[in-house]
Structure 1
Amino acid sequence: MNIVDRATFEAELDQLRAREKAHTREGDAIAAARRRLPVVEVDASLTLVGPDGPTTLLAAFEGRSQLIAFYFMWHHASSAADVCEGCTFYTGQVRELSILHSRDATFAVLCQGPYAESRRYRDFMGWDMPWYSAQESAAELLAGRQVGMFYLVCYVRKGERVFETYSTSGRGVEAMDNSYGLLDLSRFGRQEPWENSPDGSPQEWGNESGNPHPYRVGGRPIAQWTRLSAGHMDPLTQD
């Protein structure tokens, strides 16, 4: 660490803040361009399965004009430990939906597995966001994308017609995250090997051989341990 006096520290910080402001303004410009993208129509009647059985993509809007959908990967898990750790990491950080609702937007998880066992996982995790199975319609909903990967997809409706307006790829799902955003402000960052960090910084979280998985500890997604200690049941299938 380079230890300096307060004045030197503030001067360096001001230089960085100028870069951060430019980054923020560029992000605003990208968001403005995103709002002007063309749209593609999606069959509003495509089948989802929810708590009351089969329903439609249109119904998942819950009467609002916009739908922000997270496509949750699924490995036909028989226990919670087998569920996608990345999907768990991101989904678990979407908690308070009232601000979205005030802007006439609904958030929902569209799981790419069967409803019954994936809903049991939602309950295991203590989540309360709207949850559907998109298994039957995933290939059509994700046209041009690889089924089985996770995505954020945004929709708007005009009456009973539905249009896709945007979707993420790669790290775009970090829009759901706050943990990494906070860690990015800290001295050690995410502590993952791909980061450009000063020599000597801890970087033990990653996928390289011998290093712990960034989203798993002890063979299961990190967030699950508190659920187990609270007595939640691990099996997701029923006899």
Structure 2
Amino acid sequence: MTDVNKPPVVSRREWLAAIDTLRAREKAHTREGDAIAAARRRLPMTEVDPSAPLIGGTGHVPLIDVFEGRTQLFVSYHMWHDGHTAAEQCEGCTFFTGQVRELSYLHQRDVTFAVFCQGPYEESDRYRRFMGWDMPWYSVPAESHERLVADRHFGMKACYLRDGDHVYETYWTTGRGVEPMAPSYGILDMTVHGRQETWENSPSGWPQPYEALGQQFRKDGRPTAQWARIAAGHDDDLHSGQPRTGRSGCCS
């Protein structure tokens, strides 16, 4: 580490004073986030077809059954590249999906978490198992794309409310709006070098080797999280000789 890529050294009193100054901004940011969340809870909602079919481990499942008896549902729409290898799958969706592991706190608050994948169930579920994920996983057949995605794109996140036999969409977001699913970003934001991505406003000389074009989620030709699975001996074969088909754009 050189003198140009580390902070200046000051006394502890000066350091604490600088943090106190920043803390006031952090608290204002938190309060504004609370206000935005309050406004989000006051949004109107729109009805969606509760019978929209999905494909799960037991076959076709209507949307309303994905709630698993709860009244709220959070869905991560996972992008997929049909027929391609695990290494070629969406690095952005892998980054975000893989960081949602403990679901009991959501369940305690009457929220079900599920992944709705763009790809065919058998192939994409092999990916889920390769990655070691155990969240509910469904494939969205073509007949449900318009009913659920509706001119948006996979990679988005959406929230639903069930009222008896009716289902409503209450919120959706994409882009940086999905960052709450990635606590590693929140941790990196507290470190001195941040995310180390080129778009960040960092002091001159700070390391920023990552472009924010999906490359920040990859290492040596794979989504970064796959390397630990490979090292542990997990099989990344998804299609067992099925022909490769066209690749769509990634969400990152």
TM-score range, shorter chain: over 0.9
Give the aligned partner of residue 109 of structure 1.
115
Pairwise mapping of residues 188-203 of structure 1 onto structure 2 (< 5 A)?
188-203=193-208
Which amino acid is 2:227 matched to? W
Return the alpha-carbon distance in structure 2 between the equivalents of residues 102 and 124 of structure 1. Answer: 28
Render the CA deviation track for 1:46-88: whole Å, top value 9, x for unaligned.
Answer: 0000000001110100000000000000111432101100000
Count of paired positions: 234
Moved over 3 A (4+): none
Q: Is the 8 A contact 2:199 2:212 kept in 1?
A: no
CA deviation map 1:153-204 (0-9, x unaligned): 0000000100000000221111101011000000000001000001111000
Q: Aligned residue for 2:244?
A: none
1:207–1:36: structure 2 CA closer, same or farther, 3 Å change rule? closer
Offset, 1:207: 4.9
Asked if 2 retains the 8 angstrom alpha-carbon contact of 1:50 and 1:132, the reply is yes
Give RMSD over aligned pairs. 1.2
TM score, norm. by length of structure 2: 0.90
The offset of 1:138, in angstroms, is: 1.8
1:111 and 1:135 in contact (8 A); partners too: no
2:134 is equivalent to residue 132 of structure 1: no
Partner residue of 2:59 out of 37, 53, 56: 53
SS in 2 for 1:41: strand
| Identity, % of aligned positions | 59
Q: Is the 8 A contact 1:75 1:82 kept in 2?
A: yes
Q: Does 1:234 align with 2:239?
A: no
Partner of 2:34: 28
Alignment-mate amino acid for residue 219 of structure 2: V
Q: Which runs of 5+ in 2 are unaligned?
A: 1-6, 242-252
Residue number in structure 1 paired with 2:248: none
Match for residue 180 of structure 1 among 171, 181, 185: 185
- Tell me the residue number matched to 2:220: 218
3-state SS, counterpart of residue 75 of structure 2: strand
Distance, in Å, in 1 between the alignment partners of 2:81 and 2:141 is 12
- Give the structure-1-normalised TM-score: 0.95
The answer (yes or no) to whether the contact 1:78–1:235 under 8 Å persists in 2 is no
